[in-house]
Every structure is written in C-alpha cells, then in structure tokens.
Amino acid sequence: MSASRDFPDRVGGRLCLDFVNTVDPRQVGRGRDYLVSYGDVLDWFEMVDVRLPRSISWLRKRAKSATDEAFGAHRQAVAMREAAFALLNSSRVSGEVRPSDVAKLNDALGESIGHRVLAAAQRGGVREEWRTADALTQVLWPVAIDTWDLLTEPELGLVRQCPPDAGGCGWLFLDTSRAGNRRWCDMRTCGNRAKVRAHYSRTARR
C-alpha cells in the first residue's frame, strides 16, 4: 500500500493537528475515519515522515506477526487521537477538559518521554534521539510530545477550528496569517463551500 494514499490534506501546521484531522468531518457520528487499522496508522506516519526508534517497514513486518499487539496499538492510537483533539479544542479557548483525556495523553507521553534521550552529535553538541524500542505504539510518541508541547506553548492561542456550525469540517489548524483571521481549514474546500452556500441563500431571497 502506498503511503501517499488518499489521506486528508495536511492543513494543520503542526504534526499533532494534522494527526487529529484524520477524521473528516469532525461532527459526531458523521466523520470518515482514515485510521481504521494499524496498517493505516503506519501509512499515515510514513506519509508525514517522522523519526521513530524503528523504521516503518520494520514496524509493518512486526505487526504482521504480532497481530494482537497491532490491534491494541491501533486502539490506543485512536483513543489518543480523540483525547488530543478534545484537549486541544477545549484548551485553545480555555475550556474545561476531561480528566480521562488528560490521562490518555499522559499514558502515551510517559512511554515516549521514557525513550527520548540526548546523544553526542557528530559535529559537536548534542542531538535528540530515540532509545531502541520494539513497541508498536512508538508511532504515537512524536505526536504525543508535539501535543504536550502545543498545549503548553503560547502557540496554542493560534489554534482555530474550521467552524462546524458554519458548515466547516471541524478540523484544527494553526492560524499563522498576518491578520490572524484565517477562518477555514482551506479556502478551496470548506471556505469555498461556505461561499457557494452564502451565494445561494442570497439569490434565493431575491
């Protein structure tokens, strides 16, 4: 399966936002989930090209022989994604968060931080790398750390949601526009649909 399959466009501007945007749209019970198996999760992380303790092809091979572990890793990926979405979406407006979501993110974080180390870089100084690990859940480690970072950085104030109540998809993205007024995940999709709807409702009233 190729890694460039029909995954949603990466419009989030951060790894963790693109990860939570793998459900489209984000309205309850209506969205298409792009990560329905561990294989999908691997394909997605292969597309975004993050550094992991093991290569994606190594993990793919291991998942074939460790099917129960792969099943569990997929379940954990979805649970962490949904917790990350809820936390980011509430926290961006200083809303209340569910302790169960915090706990789910903390589980993934504990695993990932335990495997993050500093090593001497060839050109001097240090660089970050991963301790060797075989766990199939390791694909979640970079995204868990990125979620933690964003939740505790001032950049959290730039996170917006493509407005579900105005026909948007509910995705989260970083508004880095100079005017700080980006409304849609993408003008070509949600922005355009809203424009067309506005046009029809105007002409219908005439």
Query: Please, which residue, 53 or 168, has the CB nearer to Zn ion?
Result: 168
Q: Which of 190-199's residues contact partners 24+ apart within 8 Å by CB, and which partners?
A: 190/162, 193/167, 194/166, 194/167, 194/168, 197/167
Cis preceding-peptide flag for 99 (omega within 30 of 0): no
Among 162, 172, 174, 194, interactor with Zn ion by CB under 5 A: 162
Angstrom distance (rounded) from CA 148 to CA 152: 6
Among 45-53, 135-143, 154-162, 197-205, the segment contacting Zn ion (CB under 5 A):
154-162
Interface with Zn ion: number of residues (CB under 5 A): 5
Residue 174 within binding range of Zn ion, rule CB under 5 A:
no
Residue 185 within binding range of Zn ion, rule CB under 5 A:
yes
Angstrom distance (rounded) from CA 179 to CA 183: 11
The SS3 of residue 43 is helix
Q: How far is the CB of 173 from Zn ion (least distance, A)?
A: 8
Query: Please, which residue, 88 or 162, has the CB nearer to Zn ion?
Result: 162
Among 80-88, 125-133, 136-144, 162-170, the segment contacting Zn ion (CB under 5 A):
162-170
Residue 23 within binding range of Zn ion, rule CB under 5 A:
no
Query: Please, which residue, 3 or 89, has the CB nearer to Zn ion?
Result: 89
Residue 172 within binding range of Zn ion, rule CB under 5 A:
no
Burial-class residue 47 by CB neighbours within 10 Å (0-12, 13-18, 19+): middle
Residue 140 within binding range of Zn ion, rule CB under 5 A:
no
Residue type at position 188: R
Residue 53 within binding range of Zn ion, rule CB under 5 A:
no
Among 42, 151, 169, 194, interactor with Zn ion by CB under 5 A: 169
Q: How far is the CB of 81 from Zn ion (least distance, A)?
A: 17
Could you give the residue ranges of the DSSP H alpha helices within 134-175?
140-152
Nearest to 162 by CA among 61, 75, 74, 92: 92
Q: Which residues bind Zn ion (CB under 5 A)?
A: 162, 168-169, 185, 190
